[in-house]
């Protein structure tokens, strides 16, 4: 039986291509026990069976391999992304474990007419925009309070289509009467004006606070020039709130524009990948990913896995990584 198993594995390895891809090891019960990536599939998989392993876990892994499957991809980067997603899906026994982050909140800008902006722990693929995850509940509360007070966003779940608004289907609620909503349900605020506020909010959540402040300065000057002092004062209140929020941001360097910064700390069982999002010289987001080690992964392997996972979570497209 053992000889048959060895012969079978040797045959499978002989059929592996010398191309980038992802390999999966299975046990006797057809369970996935390990998933890995490789620049050269044949060379990488062969290495498990061609040397003695100092790590007890790696030796146990090899002893339990009963079958091998693989997937060929175009590039090493494709292999890295595929490996990360497959590990999340199957959670193999001998792979690293990425701690579930469902407890961390996100800020959602809902994909709907007159969008709502709210805190959530559930990411729904419906075209909405999500920002986070935030490890600080205070940060989420501060941002949402700023948006609510300065942009007077709606909180109702009504379907504010043009047809429903024009037919008078809905009536303003208490939020409107106490000055916390501008009444889009009755058409009391234009979609254009409301959308301008949403654009400001998205810029703020992306870290472009300076851009929003400059835009507000321009609007204040324009309104004052037209002697529309009441509206100019309303804009000034937004401007002052943003300046206060910006002053609380940690400034790193004004020369840094859009960078993802990663560091790693580890002990014998766990690794912690620390992440900083720096926009226009200020730290706008922080996050720490906890990884439970599987085999004898190097710090470089752990850091790379963490970078891929975090950048997928936060939908980062920063062109520079430190």
pLDDT in tens, 190-229: 999 999 999 988 888 877 777 777 777 887 888 888 888 8
Does pLDDT of 100 surpass 60? no
- What 254-260 contacts at long range (C-beta under 8 Å, 24+ apart), as own/partner pairs, is 254/280, 254/281, 255/281, 256/280, 256/281, 257/281, 258/207, 258/318, 258/319, 258/320, 259/318, 259/320, 259/321, 259/322, 260/307, 260/311, 260/316, 260/318, 260/320, 260/321, 260/322
| Dihedral sign from CA coordinates of 313, 317, 318, 322 | positive
The whole-number pLDDT of residue 156 equals: 93
- pLDDT, tens only, 310-322: 887 776 767 777 7
Mean pLDDT of 118-127: 87
Mean pLDDT of 23-46: 91
For tokens 């499978």, name the residue: 12
The whole-number pLDDT of residue 212 equals: 72
Q: For the chain, what percent of residues have pLDDT higher than 90? A: 23
pTM of whole model > 0.85? Answer: no
Residue-wise DSSP of 203-250: HHHHT-HHHHHHHHHHHHHHHHHTT-HHHHHHHHHHHHHHHHHHHTSE
Q: Dihedrals φ, ψ of 199, to 5°? A: -65, -40
How many Cα atoms within 13 Å fall on the side-chain side of residue 308? 20
- b (16+ CB within 10 A) / e for 225-238: eeeeeeebebbbeb
Does pLDDT of 155 surpass 80? yes
Distance CA 284, CA 276 (A): 8
The whole-number pLDDT of residue 1 equals: 47
Is the N-terminal amide bond of 133 cis, ω within 30° of 0?
yes
Mean pLDDT of 37-48: 90
How many Cα atoms within 13 Å fall on the side-chain side of residue 28? 7
Does pLDDT of 248 surpass 60? no
The whole-number pLDDT of residue 84 equals: 83
- 30: which 2 tokens? 């057809």
Does pLDDT of 63 surpass 80? yes
Mean pLDDT of 289-308: 82
CA-nearest of 270, 215, 222 to 238 is 215
If 0-12 CB within 10 Å is exposed, 13-18 middle and 19+ buried, where does residue 268 land?
A: exposed
């Amino acid at each position: 039986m053992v000889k048959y198993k060895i012969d079978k594995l040797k045959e499978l390895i002989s059929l592996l291509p010398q191309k980038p891809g992802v390999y999966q090891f299975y046990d006797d019960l057809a369970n996935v026990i390990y998933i890995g990536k490789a620049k050269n599939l044949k060379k990488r998989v062969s290495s498990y069976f061609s040397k003695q392993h100092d790590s007890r876990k790696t030796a146990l892994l090899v002893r339990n391999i009963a079958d091998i499957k693989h997937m060929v991809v175009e590039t090493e980067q494709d292999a890295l992304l595929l490996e990360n997603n497959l590990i999340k899906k199957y959670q193999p026994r001998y792979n690293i474990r990425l701690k579930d982050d469902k407890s961390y909140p996100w800020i959602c800008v809902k994909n709907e007419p007159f969008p709502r902006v709210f805190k959530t722990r559930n990411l729904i693929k419906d075209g909405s925009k999500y920002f986070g995850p935030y490890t600080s509940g205070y940060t989420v509360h501060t941002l949402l309070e700023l948006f609510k007070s300065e942009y007077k966003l709606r909180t109702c779940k009504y379907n504010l289509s043009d047809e429903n608004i024009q037919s008078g289907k809905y009536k303003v609620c208490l939020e409107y009467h106490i000055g916390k909503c501008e009444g889009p349900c009755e058409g009391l605020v234009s979609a254009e004006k409301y959308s301008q506020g949403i654009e400001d909010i998205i810029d703020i959540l992306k870290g472009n606070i300076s851009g929003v402040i400059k835009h507000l300065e321009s609007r204040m000057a324009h309104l004052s020039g037209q002697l529309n002092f009441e509206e100019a004062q309303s804009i000034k209140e937004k401007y002052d709130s943003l300046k206060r929020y910006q002053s609380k941001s940690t400034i790193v360097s004004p020369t840094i524009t859009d960078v993802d910064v990663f560091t790693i700390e580890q002990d014998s069982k766990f690794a912690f990948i620390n992440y900083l999002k720096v926009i226009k010289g200020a730290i706008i987001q922080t996050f720490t990913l906890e990884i439970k080690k599987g085999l004898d992964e190097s710090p470089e392997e752990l850091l790379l896995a963490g970078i891929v996972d975090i950048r997928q979570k936060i939908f980062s497209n920063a062109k520079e990584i430190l």
